Structures are given as C-alpha cells and as structure tokens.
A = this chain, B = another copy of it.
Amino acid sequence: MNVQPLGLARLLADIEGGRATAARTIAAAQERIDALDGELAAFVRRAPEASIDAAMTATGPLAGVPFGVKDIFDTADMATEHGSPLYAGHRPVADAALVAMARGAGAAILGKTATTQFASLDPCATRNPHDPSRTPGGSSSGSAAAVAAGMVAGACGSQTGGSVLRPASYCGVAGYKPSFRLLPTVGMKTFAWSLDTVGLFAAGVADVALLAAKLTGRALAAPPLADASGLTIGLYRSSVDAGIEKEMQAAWDDAARALEAAGATLVELVEPAALSAARDVHGTVQNFEAAHALMWEHRTHREAMAPRVLAQLDEGAATSPAAYDAGRRTARIGRRAATTLFETVDALLLPSALGAAPEGLGSTGDPALNKLWTLTGNPAVSVPGLATAGGLPLGISIVARFGRDAEALAIGALLETRLRA
C-alpha cells in the first residue's frame, strides 16, 4: 500500500497560497478513502453529502482540512456507535465539544473512524496501512490509520491507557496527548473520567501542533527550535523497559543521539517508586470508573460486551470504593512525583510502544509505556520518523511537565526534523 500522509502545515500553506482549494482537497481525500478503505477499514461511517457540501465552503483556520472523528465522539449529523452493537444507528442530538470546535474552525469532517468497543482493548477491523496484516493499534485505530494513509490530514482520538500514542507509533504518524483536560471530553463516551484524554493525530509533530493551535486558539504551534542547546532531556528508565523490543531500543538510542547532536544534555532518570506505584494502580482506577461509567451497558446488556472490556467491567464492579480511593491517593502522589521530575529535566524521552505493530489483528498491542503518563496527566507527543529494518514505524515519545504542551510539541518537532535530516 502506498502510505503517504497528508501534511497539515503544507496543506494549509497551499490553500492560503492559492495552490490548493478546500473543495479539491476534500474531494481528493474522499477519493482516497474510496480507494483505500475497503482494505483498511479505518472508517465505520462516512459523513452525509450535505455535511461534505457545507464543509467545501466552510471558513475558519482549518477550512479545507479533511478530518476524521473517532466513533466515540458524538456527531449531530451521523450515528455514533462506540464500537458497540448496543449503539447501532444511535444518532446524538448534538456534536461533542471537540467536534463542534473542529466544525467551528472550518474542518471538513469526512466520517467516523473505527474504535475498539468503548475505546477498550477488543480489536476492531482496522488494518495498519504499513502492513495490512498488522494491527494499527488501538483504541483510536481508525483515526491513526486514516491519517497514516492520507485519507484525512487530522483526526481526533482518546487515550485512557495508551490509545493515542501507541497507534500513532504503529502507524508512523504524530500523536499528541495533551495535558489532562486541555481538550474537552464533553460528548465523548466516558470510560474512566479521571484518565480519559482527548488526543489528536496528524502526519508530523509540526502538523499536530498546528492542528491543536487552530482548534483551541492556544499558542501550541511555537516557532521551530533552531537546536536543542540549553535543553536537558531525561532518558526515562523503568521496569517496563524489560519488554522493549530490540529495534525499538535502537530507535530510542537513535532519538537520544539525535537530540544530543542537536545540543541537548541527556541524563539518565530511573523511575521513582512513587511513579511505579502510580502505574500499578492505573487498572484499579480505570476499571472502577469504567464499571460506573458503563454500568447500564454492563448490567443490562452483558451479552453484548466484547470479552476484554467485559473482564475490565467485571473487575471494576468487584473493586471496593476503599481500593479505588487508595488508588486515587497513589495516583495523586504519582502526579506530584511527576512534577518533581521536571525540576531537573525539560522533557522525558521514551519509546511510544514496546516495538513495532504486532502481527495480526487479534490484539491492539500493549500500552505499558503510555499509561503512567495518562494517569499523571502530563502532555506527550509521539514522534514518527524511525522504523524497523523491515520498514515498520517506531514512535518515540516526548513527555513534558503538566501544562507545558507547547514545550513537548516544540521538542518533538525538533526531534522529528533531526530524524528526517
């Protein structure tokens, strides 16, 4: 498959410069979806013609930008099914906040992208554009694949464990998980309210920063860093690293060397106990909340639940409030420990996944390296550009201090540039 993402920065410059029009860009994206999605199954639903027509003449900072919306975000103009048969044909009254923001900015929402059931771990039908025999990762499977295949220039997803950074890594695109609650979750199906984080996908880091900036009106797309001088980057080492595959380990080393060559000071950071403990309670917090958020589904339609999400809900329903409260306390201590880390470094560098996309569609892969940072709420961006010898993408994450999203994106963009050079 010819995998060629559609760079958002370039696209917007072309539209602004009169070298492209919104209508032609949207039509071309539609054609690409027509051509590729039979094999990739990135989309579960295409936007109605009236919405496409409206998007062709929309105005705003994202006018002409083909955009995909994960099918756990409510859309007023088409169904929202959360990857579950319980919601077959369900048509929300209103757009989710993020969808309204995207439309308000003029983005062309071309359809709903495939999600695992309720954004958990049971795979959906989407295939990895770099190798259709492999998973694109999850739970934002369709959004990552659609951006990787150039069907859209941007897409939204969500991360409760590693559902943005991991598929971004597997699909060779940039994935941005903002600081907790920077992007609103209103109108998105809740899995775990203290973890669910709206994220974005685009071709590269500069593209995803621009997308976030145009969506929110925030200064997230800073001018590129000339180099990394003055920056201290922590190589974050934890017990989870034991599962990192050899080629990902090499990619991590390459990324570190690239930043060092750009002038950064690298330091080794061994995970403090408070952060190991925080990672260990992620599941307890997540599943207790999910058992409440999805109580109606779990109690009244047990038979309709996919096996992995059902197991999580069963576990959550069996978790006591006291165990949950203890988990929340551990998480709070972990958040403070994360903040302390950034007293000595500007950012952390670590792999976005244990390795390249696993073979087959039976699993969406392992969020082991991501879920701690979802729990702490720190901003993170997965930087594309590295690959296995066989050409499969390998993403490297930059994690920054809470609220320092622009810094994470700027360092990520610099790393991306250096890896491409």
CB of A266 closer than 8 Å to a CB of B: no
Chain B residues whose CB sits within 8 angstroms of the CB of A321 once the complex forms = 216-218
Which residue of B76, B186, B296 contacts A293 across the interface (Cβ within 8 Å)? B186
Docked CA distance A194–B320 (Å)? 25
Closest 3 pairs between A and B when the two form their complex, measured CB to CB: A100-B295, A94-B296, A95-B296
Which of A85-93, A158-166, A407-415 binds B?
A85-93
Contact B296 A76 (CB under 8 A): yes
Docked CA distance A292–B86 (Å)? 28
Interface size grouping (class) on chain A: 20 to 34
Contact B93 A90 (CB under 8 A): yes
Chain B residues whose CB sits within 8 angstroms of the CB of A95 once the complex forms = 295-296
Chain B residues whose CB sits within 8 angstroms of the CB of A186 once the complex forms = 190, 193, 292-293
- Contacts A/B (CB < 8 Å), 10 sampled: A87-B93, A95-B295, A97-B292, A97-B295, A100-B299, A101-B295, A104-B299, A184-B292, A184-B293, A186-B190
CB of A308 closer than 8 Å to a CB of B: no
Docked CA distance A87–B94 (Å)? 9
Q: Given contacts A76-B296, A97-B296, A216-B321, list 17 more A-B pairs with CB under 8 A.
A: A76-B300, A86-B93, A86-B94, A87-B93, A94-B297, A95-B295, A97-B293, A100-B292, A100-B295, A100-B296, A100-B299, A101-B295, A104-B295, A184-B292, A186-B292, A186-B293, A217-B320
